[in-house]
């Protein structure tokens, strides 16, 4: 019988590849369905997440080893080979076990025809360690092309991140390495509902409301998280909400807007901060299923109105909000360490649709904020086109706004997702 842990890992990869599933959403349910827990669940999680993170490196090795190249391999077989390669090159699994269990997955889940091929290819891969293979598959590469294979990032993403870092070679190497280190779970205490001291873990590095769980900590087991008094939220996201809430403001400070609120983490923190000074928050989300996530996230707060509109066309009157957040839809290149499949799913052409949307949402936000009010434009992406490019394109066309500050957080520097935030004041 096929090892259920590896079988689940295989089917998780197939769901990512065939159905564009998000592994962090599907894998826990698959583990529960098969009653996999404890060390076996941890093994399955590392097997799936690690394989996805290092997929580009493994594909380069498989392409070198396969006589007809990687393009000749059917997708299910390729996913199984990637799982085997990860066990052989990056996990403490004996080579014979990595090969035999992967071949068994191929036999049971795919069929007998590719068994001999998979067995032979994995045995060849097992003849060298990762460094040995990297020396072979990168020997004719240099610069960003070499980095792309070694760190398992698409070349276009490496180049975009390198540009965002100002071309600094040392920084890009550190960032790409950080993208391949799974982040620890970070909690946020929502002011007025809980305090950081009530939560387990160690204090955050940058946010006064953050606690960082130790390895293996389960946020679902924490009462404050279960009942909505606290949440799971990266410190970078917390800092965006804090930056908007703490921006100096003259005059009324009563009505706040989160224009793109789903799934609701920033909205919940913003609402808690607003409530402490008697302000209300309109949390808007275009998609109903995401709006439902927002409602769940803010369920303990009574100063929030959740609305469902296209943020570019909602029914609000111009100049009626004191603070507005635009957490714009983006490529998500700043969260590659926690969403390993995203690096393979995104394409450069995605920017052609996202950037005009980002510009339209920021323009709408600046119309909705009152003179003297503040807009925070944020993306979980450091890509220049999505960050400073959008801010400059929108603000240069207006004479009624000024950029007060911009900030980019980084995984390798700040320990956060690569969040960007610009504070823009309406004159």
| Residue positions annotated with a catalytic role | 380
Is 331:276 a contact under the CB 8 Å cutoff?
no
Handedness of CA 341, 344, 349, 351 (dihedral sign): positive
**Closest to 2 measured CA to CA, from 99, 82, 105:** 105
Question: 72 in helix, strand or coil?
Answer: helix
Is 275:304 a contact under the CB 8 Å cutoff?
no
Neighbours of 347 (CB within 10 A): 11
**Closest to 286 measured CA to CA, from 360, 209, 199, 235:** 360
Query: At 340, phi and psi to the nearest 5?
Result: -65, -30
Is 254:275 a contact under the CB 8 Å cutoff?
no
Instruction: Give me the helices (H) in 382-427, please.
Output: 388-395, 411-414
Q: What is the C-alpha separation between 6 and 57, in angstroms, rounded? A: 20
Residues ≥6 apart with Cβ < 8 Å to 285: 260, 261, 262, 264, 291, 294, 306, 307, 308
The size of the chain, in residues, is 427
């Amino acid at each position: 019988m096929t090892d259920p842990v590896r079988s689940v890992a295989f089917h998780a990869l197939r769901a990512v590849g065939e159905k564009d599933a998000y592994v962090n959403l599907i894998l826990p349910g698959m583990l529960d369905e098969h009653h996999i827990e404890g060390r076996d669940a941890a093994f399955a999680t590392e097997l799936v997440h690690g394989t996805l993170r290092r997929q580009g490196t493994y594909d380069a090795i498989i392409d070198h080893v396969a006589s007809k190249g990687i393009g000749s391999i059917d997708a299910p077989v390729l996913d199984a080979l990637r799982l085997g390669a990860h066990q052989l090159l990056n996990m403490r699994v004996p080579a014979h076990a990595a090969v035999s269990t992967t071949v068994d997955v191929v036999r049971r889940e795919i069929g007998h025809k590719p068994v001999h091929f998979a067995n032979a290819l994995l045995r060849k891969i097992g003849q060298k360690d990762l460094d040995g293979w990297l020396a072979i598959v990168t020997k004719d590469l240099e610069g960003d092309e070499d980095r792309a294979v070694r760190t398992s990032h698409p070349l276009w993403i490496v180049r975009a991140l390198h540009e965002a870092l100002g071309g600094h070679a040392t920084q890009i190497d550190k960032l790409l390495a950080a993208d391949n280190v799974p982040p620890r779970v970070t909690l946020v205490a929502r002011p007025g509902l809980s305090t950081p001291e009530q939560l387990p873990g160690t204090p955050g590095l940058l946010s006064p409301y953050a606690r960082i769980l130790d390895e293996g900590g389960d946020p679902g087991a924490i009462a404050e998280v279960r009942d909505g008094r606290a949440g799971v939220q990266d410190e970078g996201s917390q800092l965006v909400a804090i930056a908007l809430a703490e921006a100096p403001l003259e005059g009324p400070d009563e009505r706040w807007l989160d224009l793109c609120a789903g799934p609701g983490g920033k909205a919940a923190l913003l609402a808690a901060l607003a409530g402490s000074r008697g302000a209300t928050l309109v949390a808007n989300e275009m998609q109903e299923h995401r709006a439902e996530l927002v409602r769940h996230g803010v369920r303990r707060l009574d100063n929030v109105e959740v609305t469902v509109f296209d943020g570019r066309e909602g029914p609000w009157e111009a100049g009626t909000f004191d603070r507005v957040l635009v957490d714009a839809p983006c490529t998500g290149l700043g969260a590659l360490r926690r969403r390993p499949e995203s690096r393979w799913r995104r394409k450069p052409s995605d920017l052609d649709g996202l950037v005009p949307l980002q510009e339209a949402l920021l323009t709408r936000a600046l119309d909705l904020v009152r003179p003297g009010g503040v807009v925070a434009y944020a993306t979980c992406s450091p890509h220049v086109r999505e960050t400073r490019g959008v801010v400059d394109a929108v603000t240069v066309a207006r004479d009624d706004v000024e950029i007060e500050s911009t900030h980019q957080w980084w995984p390798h520097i700040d320990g956060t997702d690569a969040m960007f935030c610009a504070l823009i004041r309406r004159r």
